[in-house]
Structure formats: C-alpha cells, structure tokens
Structure 1
Amino acid sequence: MKLNKLKIGKTETPGNLLLAPMADVTNLAFRLLCRQNGADITYTEMISADALLNENRKSLLKGLSSPEDRPFGVQLVGSSPEKLRETALFIEDECSPELIDVNMGCPAPRITGTGCGSALLNSEKLVYEIISELTGVLKTPVTAKIRILERDEKTLEIARLIEKAGASALTVHGRKAEQMYSGNSDLTTIRAVKRELSIPVIANGDIRDEESAEVAIDFTGCDGLMIGRAAMGNPFVFKRIRHYLETGEKLKIDRQVQQLEDFKSYIALLEEYSLYSSTNLRMHAHWFTKGLHGSRQIREKINNLKDGKALIELIKNSFEEIY
C-alpha cells in the first residue's frame, strides 16, 4: 500500500491526495465532487489579497466552503506581506480553513506582471518575509506552492527559507515558470527538495493516472501528491489513483458513464450551492464532455447558447440521448 497518511500541522488525513488550487476550476461544487472521488485535501481557487481588501470582503467569500468540504485550504496570491497578513487574518476568522497557502508558483503573465506568483521566487527576502509574516500571526498552518528554478541550489535555498520562516508544508511543481505547462515535470528536483526539508513536501506536475502517481511517490519519496489539470472534467482520477495506491490494482471503469455521472453530480452541486452565476459552465462542460461519444456535437450546441438555463437543459437532454 502506497497511500500514506498525511499530517500538516494538526490536520491528519487517511490519504495523501490533494486537489490543486486552480483559477476558474476549483469552486466549492468541483471541490466537493473531487472529495467524493477520493481527494483528501482540496484548495480553493486563488484569492487575490488586493481584491479582497479593495472590494466587498464578505461577498468574495460567499460560498467559499461548506461543512462537507473539510479539510480544505485557501490559497492567497499577493506580493505585500502586510496585505497578505491582513487578508489571511480575515479569512482565518471568517472561514476557519485548515490551511492557508501562498501562491508562489503561478506563471501566468497577468499574475507575475504584478510581482505575484512565481515572480516572488526572484526575491528570497520577500519570500521569507511573507511566510514569516503569516506564521507569526496566524493560528492556521501556512503552506506554500512554488515552481522549480533554473538552478537546483536556488530552488533548495527558497525551500529552506520557506521552512525556516515557519511553513507547515511545501508543494513543488516540477516545472520552471517559463515552461508554463510544456515539457515534463522534473521529479529529480522535487526529490532533492524532499530530502532537504523536514516538513511535508507535496509533488505536483504531470500526475495524471495510476502509473504517474506511483512513479512520483516512489521516485521523490514525497509525502503527498497534488493533482491539478488532470482533474479538470475528470474528478474520478482521484478514485482511480486512490484505489491503485491502496490495492495495487486498477479500477475497471466505464469512462463514458463515469464522466457523465460526475458531470450530472457537478450540475446538481452547482444548483445546491447557487454557484451558476459565478461559474463558467460552458468551459466546464467542455472539460467534462471531452473524449466522449458525440461530445463534438454537444460542444457545438453549447457554444451557440448564452443563457445558463438553456445550457443546463441542453446538457441534461444530451445525457439522455447518450444513455
């Protein structure tokens, strides 16, 4: 059995599979669906410290979590230690998440252009200040998510500083920022970080199925696996990987049936938590129908609809046609 318990701060989970924070993807409904499929910890979409402080704070946090979504982490993005501290204290008070994560890995130009995300890795001083500022005032364990840097030693220096500043865990995406999502995740560097630190290290990048999960765990020796893009429209990837790590056997799943069932469940959860207006349902519909029989025709119809209710009716009717 390779599915190990994971302990971050006081939070202990029976397994070590985490859902990555992803903008426009990991809303509450999607997180609950991944949790039902076997994710042990889920993270919110990243929340901008500047946005939270400049706008209606309560409205930004509405529908952020539910009692069923535990344990969960909130990911923050920002470059000011003071603003991140104020934001984190507000979120801790309002939502009581099990973890608060700092985004130090997003490579998107709209994020790095403001000095946030992976741009933070250019300043060791700022990385240390941000983490120590948060760990100094929060009761909630602080984690960070980074990308690897050009030189391994530089990556290790950043990782050591994050641990020294008091972080409870570190997630490492095995690509450099300039790679975006091209090329392969570098497991060798992730393994080097794991060997360097005493806090839990989570491997991220290219974990898409049973084999890649097993290789990542075996090669890096990491404490957990974080799954991102492979879960988009495909939350049962957690069920497959979890079953394989627990038993050594692959689940026999009818992908078409499973994917459609998960999409129906997703729509029901969006309805239950009133999340339609804040969700790009068209984009999610594309992910959930990708690779399915008749999916091209469904997507063409979806693209021609602007009304949310009409879109939902189309999707529901399409299920019936496929079945």
Structure 2
Amino acid sequence: MRIAKLKLEGNIFLAPMSNVTNLPFRLMCREYGASMSYTEMISSDAVIHENKKTINRGISCEAERPFGIQIFGNSPDIMRTATLKIEESYHPDIIDVNFGCPARLLTKEGCGSALLHSPDLIYDILKELVDNISTPVTAKIRVLEDMDKTLEIARIIEKSGASAITVHGRTRQQQYSGRSNMEYAKRIKRELSIPVIANGDIVDELSAESILEYTECDGIMIGRAAMGNPFLLRRISHYISTGELLEYNECQQRVEDFKEYVRRLEEYDLMHTVNMKAQAQWFTRSISGGRHTRNMISASKDVDEIVKHIKDMCNLID
C-alpha cells in the first residue's frame, strides 16, 4: 500500500488511542504485524504553549518507522505552526488530522468530530497543512447520518490535497455503541482516488477479512480491540497473508505480552506516565476468571503483584 510517496509493506494500521498507544505498545503492535502506528492525539494548542507532557507523545524511535502523529485543533494557523514544530522535532512519516473523536473534551471546543459540521474549515485546515509542511497529510473522520453530506466531506478532504482518509463508520452521537456502518467506507472508496482506510468493529481475523472484502478499501485500522491485546495484530496479519488461523494460548499470550509491555515501559522510562492498574485491566479482558483478577489488580500495591495475579489467573508458575 502507498500513501503519497510512503510505501508500506502491508495495509493494517494501529489506530491512535489516548492513554493507550504509547511507544512501548506501538512497538509491540508493529512487531506483531501492524504496517503502521500512530501516536496518541496531540493538541495543536498544547504544542504552541509547549506543554511538555503533550509534546512527548510524539516520541518515537527508528524501529517504529514508518509512524504517524495525529493532531487535533480548529485553527488553521495554530495547527500549521504546531505541525511545523512537530515535523522539525520528530520527523513523522505521516501527519494525521483528527476529525473523528467524539469525546466531549474535544467537541465542546469545536475540535474532533464537531468539525464535521464545518466542511469549509476542514478544507482550510488541511489545505494550510498540505501547503506548508513536507510530510504527507491524512485525515480521519466519523460519519454523519446523512450519506451525501459525509461523501461531500470526503471529497473536500481529497480536494484539499490530503494523501489518504480513514473512515470510522459510527456517528459522533453513537460514541462507541451500536454497529459501525461500513457502507460509508465502501461508498467513499468508490468516490475517491486517494487511499481509503476502514475503521470500526474490526475485532478478529474474520471481521478484518470481511470488512476489507466488503468495502474494497485499501487498508483497515484496528483500535479498541487491540487494547491489552497487541497479539491481535499478529493474528490478523497472519490470516490476511495466509488465510490460516493461528493456534495460540490466549491467556498465556496475554501474560507474556503484559510482562513485555512492562519491560518496555521501564526501558523507555515511561512507567510514570501510565496507570498500570488500568493497563493491566485491559490485558485481562475477555479471559475466563478475568473479573476476579481485575478486582485483585485494583488492590495491588506494585507491578510485581499485578503480574502475579495475572499469572495466577492462568494457573502459571513463576
């Protein structure tokens, strides 16, 4: 798959997720088969005000390349200035602009999916970036209830010079409930000449295959299903390339992945930046006995105790 001049080895993307896609987690997903990963969203206003915590979300390393940085905001001028700073500091391979986040923290400020009701401003933001930075610019959107209005936004994004678009098939009002409507991604793919990436409800090998086939999109983006489950990227990438399901012990895999995740947090001195209890909760989702273990995790005093509880859940021996 190609985005502008960037050639990717595959077409499976790891979505940017707040408090999830830090560097250690992204590296694990990349090694498991993600063709490209994105940092957590970065506020353009925070970059301008030199908020260190926000800016540090852009930290990457050579092993992660290619990687993207996703930004949000609602001012073309501020976003241009912020993106130039990001480009100079981190040299990402892609700058992605968020027009899809439904969180009230963003929408009340006129950012994220709130911008879907301001198509002219979407154009101005993207055009300002495309004309002033050397990094390819892409966009991620949610959909409107009106198909025609959504298609018009997609056309505007292409007209602005953006190099690709990711389509999450839920509306802002849905948040993360209900089903993602893949008809939007399918229609947008037929309308545009730039790459289109489908996002939403990709939770396993079969859903990944089904969505790729139905939408005929160039790629897929995996989000919440990967939280605490980076091995999902290995399963999906293996299935897409071979048509075969991997055999594995899910519980044992989650334990090993959590241990590796902790190791990498320590390696990059990022332990202090995450809520380890919350992270551990994700790694025990959908596993038999997980609820009891999550209660034990909540009462844990340190990381070693958390790891022990997860191991006990799987009847593993230290």
Query: Helix, strand or coil for the counterpart of 2:63?
Result: coil
Query: Helix, strand or coil for the counterpart of 1:251?
Result: coil
Q: Which runs of 5+ in 2 are unaligned?
A: none
Letter in 1 for 2:9: P
Deviations 1:97-117 (A, max 9, x none): 000000000011111000000
Give the direction of change, closer, same or farther, for the CA distance of 1:249–1:58 in structure 2 (3 Å limit): closer
Equivalent position of 1:224 in the other structure: 219
Equivalent of residue 54 in structure 1, options 41, 49, 58? 49
Counterpart contact for 1:63–1:273, Cα < 8 Å: no
Q: Structure 1 residue 91 and structure 2 residue 82: aligned?
A: no
Equivalent of residue 194 in structure 2, options 182, 191, 199? 199
Output the CA distance in 2 between the equivalents of 1:317 and 1:262: 14
TM-score of the superposed pair, with normalisation by structure 1: 0.94
Letter in 2 for 1:165: S
Shift of 1:214: 0.8
Query: Helix, strand or coil for the counterpart of 1:178?
Result: coil
Equivalent position of 1:300 in the other structure: 295
Shift of 1:211: 1.0
Equivalent position of 2:303 in the other structure: 312
Counterpart contact for 2:99–2:112, Cα < 8 Å: yes
Output the CA distance in 2 between the equivalents of 1:289 and 1:277: 21
Equivalent position of 1:127 in the other structure: 122
What RMSD in Å do the two structures reach over aligned CA positions? 1.5
- Matched ranges for 1:12-51 at <5 A: 12-51=7-46
Equivalent position of 1:106 in the other structure: 101
Greater CA drift, 60-69 or 78-87 = 60-69
Q: Structure 1 residue 161 and structure 2 residue 156: aligned?
A: yes
Shift of 1:320: 4.9
Letter in 1 for 2:303: I
Counterpart contact for 1:174–1:189, Cα < 8 Å: yes
Shift of 1:279: 1.0
Shift of 1:288: 0.3
Q: Which runs of 5+ in 1 are unaligned?
A: 1-5
Letter in 2 for 1:213: A
Shift of 1:37: 1.0
Shift of 1:67: 1.3
Shift of 1:55: 3.1
TM-score of the superposed pair, with normalisation by structure 2: 0.95
Equivalent position of 1:3 in the other structure: none
Letter in 2 for 1:16: N
Counterpart contact for 1:13–1:40, Cα < 8 Å: yes
Letter in 2 for 1:217: L
* Structure of higher RCO (CA pairs closer than 8 Å, 6+ residues apart): 1
Shift of 1:261: 1.0
Give the direction of change, closer, same or farther, for the CA distance of 1:58–1:238 in structure 2 (3 Å limit): closer
Letter in 1 for 2:281: H
